[in-house]
Amino acid sequence: MNMKRNYYLLFLTFQLLLSFSLIASPKDEASSISLPLGGNAWLSKNATARLKNNGISNWSAATDIITLYFRTEASGQADLSLKLRVPGGKSKISIVAPGATLHKELENQEWKVVPIGSIQIRKAGYVKLEIRGLSRTAEVYAEVSDLIVSGSALEKGASYVKDNEGNFFYWGHRGPSVHLNYTIPAAAASKTEWFYNEIIVPEGQDILGTYYMANGFSGGYFGMQSNSATERRVLFSIWSPFQTDNPKEIPDSMKVLMLKKGPDTKTGEFGNEGSGGQSYMIYPWKAGKRYAFLIRAQPNQLKKSTTYTAYFKDLEKDKWQLVASFERPQSATYLKGLHSFLECFSPQTGDQSRKAMYQNQWAIDAEGNWHEVTAANFSADNTARVNYRKDYAGGAEKDAFYLKNCGFFDDFTPMGTGLERKPSGKVHPMIDFDRLP
């Protein structure tokens, strides 16, 4: 009897504590987030201000614009504050938001969270804020480390770069990479010797710092890049099976060997994201034009290695160009894990949207049979998976797949979405394999 009474008293105590908890933490209490500028801010071109991991400093020019982005999953009110200090004198700044401009006079010389004002967010999606300097009596407007947002607009969550763990201020500025993981027809899946793909970068989408990767596979990748205002490349790389970011650590027995290359191809080693053999051609590809990529895998069971060879073609010209041929040790496999991706590799351009069209995919098996590839699965990298950025998309438009990323657009494609394009309705490309260089 005493035991039952003790259980009953414990139950009443639990219910009482639960009721106090509900009173102390009502369900409608507004959320609050703190956006570190080091991972979520962008500076206007030629700004005198400096953006570092700890925020904004040296902010002295009236022309400097500090832009911030975050995404909400609901509409509602957003109350904005800044964590900042004014090293000397007095300053006046503004925050320009959709539908509102907020002004604030500042003079706190110690770090402080300063309320700026409230805005109304009309719909779920990305919010763009611009911080501007209006007047100052000393050398700089302010030093700013964080934007604090609270209010009903955050009740369903928000997406932003939360911290720099894992160097996410860098990766967050680069934005999410997006992928098409192709479904190879069963008749060719175990013995795909060749893979053919075409890319069109729509006009206006050839953003600096972008890799439009066409033919990716387990062991390497092949595509084209926008490297600078004056240079564009066709790039082909093979990873070593030895896991390291430093190519100098790879033992001789596990190095990727260059067997041959085209007359305009430069070769070398790469590191930082795995290591291996790299080759590229300086090639002035243009937005709006179509380019073809052809990759071959020749397994050698005796040597336990695979020879990978890459060819590139401007479809307005009647000639395939050899990029390079590499031998990869410890593999002996046909093409596996075939995919394409779209990647921003420049943190400075991760606030600009880019798109690529991928079409006319074909797998050619070891017997020379062609199989059209019309299905793929959409995925994105870790920046997307941890919900730091959600400006990623992929889909099908008629007989082409597309990938899109960066630029803080609202409509995203859920990762894992299956995609299907219309068959081309054409005979497969005519390639004389015996005459390839």
Q: Of 86, 65, 68, whose CA–CA distance to 149 is shortest?
A: 68
Tokens 């009953």 belong to residue: 8
Quote the Cα angle for 33-133-171, to 5°.
45
* Strands 265-270, 354-365: pairing kind: unpaired
Tokens 């068959």 belong to residue: 423
Alpha-carbon distance of 31 to 33, in angstroms, equals 7
Distances (CA, A) of 71 to 1, 134, 395, 407: 57, 27, 22, 12
Using an 8 Å Cβ cutoff, are 400 and 180 in contact? no
Dihedral pair phi/psi, residue 316, rounded to 5°: -85, -5
Query: What does the mean pLDDT of the chain come to?
Result: 92
The fold for domain 31-160 equals Jelly Rolls (2.60.120)
Alpha-carbon distance of 150 to 119, in angstroms, equals 11
Residue 37 contacts by C-beta under 8 Å, 6 or more apart in sequence?
51, 55, 56, 66, 68, 144, 145, 146, 147
**pLDDT tens digits, one per residue of 89-116:** 999 999 999 999 999 999 999 999 999 9
Using an 8 Å Cβ cutoff, are 294 and 320 in contact? yes
Q: What is the DSSP string of 337-364?
A: S-EEEEEE--GGGTTS-EEEEEEEEEEE
pLDDT at 270: 59
Q: Of 244, 285, 236, whose CA–CA distance to 260 is shortest?
A: 236
Q: Of 327, 313, 216, whose CA–CA distance to 267 is shortest?
A: 327
Q: How confident is the model at residue 395 (pLDDT cuts 50, 70, 90)?
A: very high
Q: How confident is the model at residue 243 (pLDDT cuts 50, 70, 90)?
A: confident
Q: Is the pLDDT of residue 275 over 80?
A: no
Higher pLDDT, 251 or 63: 63
- Residue range(s) in the chain whose domain bears CATH number 2.60.120.260: 31-160
Residues constituting the chain:
437
Alpha-carbon distance of 306 to 320, in angstroms, equals 22
Q: Is the pLDDT of residue 19 over 50?
A: no
The partner residues of 112 in beta bridges, in order of sequence, read 84
pLDDT at 271: 57
Residue 15 contacts by C-beta under 8 Å, 6 or more apart in sequence?
none
Alpha-carbon distance of 237 to 273, in angstroms, equals 12
Q: What is the mean predicted confidence (pLDDT) over 376-399?
A: 98
Q: Is the pLDDT of residue 12 over 80?
A: no
Q: Strand, helix or coil at 108?
A: coil
Q: How confident is the model at residue 426 (pLDDT cuts 50, 70, 90)?
A: confident
* Strands 31-36, 143-151: pairing kind: antiparallel
Distances (CA, A) of 284 to 280, 345, 352: 12, 19, 21
Tokens 């006319």 belong to residue: 360
**pLDDT tens digits, one per residue of 47-62:** 999 999 999 999 999 9
Q: What is the CA radius of gyration of the chain?
A: 27
Helix (H) or strand (E) holding 2: helix 2-24
Q: What is the mean predicted confidence (pLDDT) over 183-210?
A: 98
Pair of tokens at residue 403: 């990938």
Alpha-carbon distance of 124 to 119, in angstroms, equals 14
Output the CA torsion sign for 264, 268, 270, 275. positive
Q: Is the pLDDT of residue 13 over 70?
A: no
Alpha-carbon distance of 34 to 405, in angstroms, equals 24
Dihedral pair phi/psi, residue 106, rounded to 5°: -130, 145
Using an 8 Å Cβ cutoff, are 299 and 332 in contact? yes
Alpha-carbon distance of 179 to 393, in angstroms, equals 9
Q: Is the pLDDT of residue 299 over 80?
A: yes
